């Protein structure tokens, strides 16, 4: 392929994730080396883009980052159309378009999850050439097999469940391990299966305390006086699940700015009531089973540290494929992972679509087949 002389920008946005640096490096080395492009990095996601805080990316600053966790560029969770500036939400799309112009960019590459896909879509609609690379430990981006960050988080959460087994066993306790994922249960299901959790609770499957207590009791009847439960951050009992679904429906049917505002406030209230549900569940299970119950919140440990080999590989593959697609002039896309390969997917198919665990998914069937309780 001939050298293209294009100048591309890159930023990382949303929650950080192991493998981001591998993807920056994959993109950068392919862009600078194979395709003869120039690369400029923007600091702290969309905020640094709006503020034109940039850094010229050279072979020097792309070197030695493959194995480093987090993102060398920094990140933020800002939205392009309502970024808070001086305490007020502002539409920064025109300012971002200016940054694009000032830096003489041919394309902007945005590494991030679902929120970043929406930001990318908004910039594409405003006429900017953008490419999105799917990152998140939640693996909930639509139309891609995987997202970088997931495999590392899966290892971390699995090891935590392994370790919780011996202490739960020694104390004859129920231990609940809360795993990240508000709307999608991929990480909890994957780690629960890999770590042999006795019960797995997902946002996709509402639970009842009775069902969980029955599973624990059945284990006791067989002489096993402990249980380890993998609970997704966003798992909920049947009542809370119905409340959340009703609030979601209200949000998506709201058709005026006022109704949208009210629906959002209602949703925030519902989610607030639901916060700390894992601690509540532990208390309820202690009362229902008579076994001492404890909670371990895995939290940000799941996102930190060195990426595993799988995430380094995925980040490198997707990053270098992005450089090739940009050299070809393909914009307005996400670079998806498809088996061993990658594929461009139109941003409009990705933005606003979440990949949750389908109820007939083989991982769920496998969980049921090995006797794991799913709380339903």
Residues catalogued as catalytic = 138
Instruction: Report in angstroms how near the CB of residue 138 gets to ligand F6P at its nearest.
Output: 5
Pick from 13, 109, 117, 137: which binds ligand F6P (CB under 6 A)? 137
The residues in 142-171 that bind ligand F6P, with binding defined as CB under 6 A, are none
CB 266 within 8 A of CB 247: yes
Residue sitting closest to ligand F6P (CB):
180
Instruction: Report in angstroms how near the CB of residue 60 gets to ligand F6P at its nearest.
Output: 30
Which residue's CB is nearer to ligand F6P, number 123 or number 179? 179
Confirm or reject binding of residue 367 to ligand F6P (CB under 6 A). no
Number of residues that bind ligand F6P (CB under 6 A): 11
Which residue's CB is nearer to ligand F6P, number 318 or number 323? 318
CA angle (154, 156, 158) in 5-degree steps:
65
The residues in 72-111 that bind ligand F6P, with binding defined as CB under 6 A, are 77
Report the sign of the C-alpha dihedral through residues 67, 73, 74, 79, in that order.
Answer: negative
Confirm or reject binding of residue 357 to ligand F6P (CB under 6 A). no
Q: Cα(266)–Cα(244) distance, rounded to whole angstroms?
A: 10
Burial of 12 (0-12, 13-18, 19+ CB in 10 A): buried
H or E segment and range at residue 195: helix 186-195
Please count the other Cβ atoms lying within 10 Å of the Cβ belonging to residue 297: 16
Instruction: Report in angstroms how near the CB of residue 335 gets to ligand F6P at its nearest.
Output: 19
Confirm or reject binding of residue 233 to ligand F6P (CB under 6 A). yes
Confirm or reject binding of residue 136 to ligand F6P (CB under 6 A). yes
Q: What is the 3-state secondary structure (H, E, C) of 9-71?
A: EEEECCCCCCCHHHHHHHHHHHHHHHCCCEEEEECCHHHHHHCCCEEEECHHHHCCCCCCCCC
Provide the token pair at 195.
């770590």
CB 10 within 8 A of CB 38: no
The residues in 276-305 that bind ligand F6P, with binding defined as CB under 6 A, are 303
Pairing, β 130-136 against β 107-112: parallel
Instruction: Report in angstroms how near the CB of residue 79 gets to ligand F6P at its nearest.
Output: 13
Q: Cα(160)–Cα(229) distance, rounded to whole angstroms?
A: 12
The residues in 31-70 that bind ligand F6P, with binding defined as CB under 6 A, are none
Pick from 113, 195, 203, 332: which binds ligand F6P (CB under 6 A)? 113
Q: Cα(357)–Cα(49) distance, rounded to whole angstroms?
A: 34
Provide the token pair at 111.
């590494």
Map residues 172-211 to x or -, x wherever contact with ligand F6P holds by CB under 6 A.
Answer: --------xxx-----------------------------
Which residue's CB is nearer to ligand F6P, number 140 or number 243? 140
Residues that bind ligand F6P (CB under 6 A): 15, 77, 113, 136-138, 180-182, 233, 303
């Amino acid at each position: 392929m001939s050298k293209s002389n294009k100048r591309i920008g890159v930023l990382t946005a949303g929650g950080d994730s192991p493998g981001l640096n591998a993807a920056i490096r994959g993109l950068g080395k392919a862009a600078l080396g194979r395709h003869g492009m120039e690369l400029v990095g923007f600091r702290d996601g969309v905020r640094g883009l709006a503020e034109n805080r940039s850094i010229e990316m050279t072979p020097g600053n792309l070197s030695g980052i493959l194995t480093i966790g987090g993102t060398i560029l920094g990140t933020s969770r800002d939205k392009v159309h309502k970024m808070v500036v001086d305490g007020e939400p502002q539409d920064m799309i025109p300012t971002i378009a200016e940054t694009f112009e000032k830096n003489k960019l041919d394309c902007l590459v945005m590494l991030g999850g679902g929120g970043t896909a929406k930001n990318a879509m908004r910039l594409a609609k405003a006429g900017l050439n953008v490419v999105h690379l799917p990152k998140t430990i939640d693996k909930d981006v639509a139309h891609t097999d995987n997202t970088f960050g997931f495999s590392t988080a899966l290892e971390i959460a699995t090891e935590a469940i392994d370790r919780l087994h011996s202490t739960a066993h020694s104390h004859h306790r129920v231990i609940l391990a809360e795993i990240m994922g508000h709307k999608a249960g991929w990480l909890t299901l994957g780690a629960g299966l890999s770590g042999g959790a006795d019960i797995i609770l997902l946002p996709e499957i509402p639970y009842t305390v009775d069902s969980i207590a029955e599973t624990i009791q059945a284990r006791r009847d067989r002489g096993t006086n402990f249980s380890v439960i993998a609970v997704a951050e966003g798992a909920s009992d049947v009542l809370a699940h119905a409340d959340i679904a009703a609030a979601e429906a209200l949000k998506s049917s709201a058709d005026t700015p006022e109704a949208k505002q009210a629906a959002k406030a209602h949703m925030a209230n519902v989610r607030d009531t639901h916060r700390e549900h894992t601690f509540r569940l532990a208390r309820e299970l202690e009362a229902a089973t008579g076994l001492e119950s404890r909670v371990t919140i895995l939290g940000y440990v799941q996102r930190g540290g060195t990426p595993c080999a799988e995430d380094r590989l995925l980040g490198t593959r997707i990053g270098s494929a992005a450089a090739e697609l940009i050299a070809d002039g393909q914009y307005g896309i996400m670079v998806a992972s498809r088996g061993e390969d990658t594929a461009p997917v139109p941003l409009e198919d990705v933005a606003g679509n979440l990949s949750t665990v389908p109820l007939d998914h083989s991982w769920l069937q496998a969980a049921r087949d090995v006797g794991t309780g799913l709380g339903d």
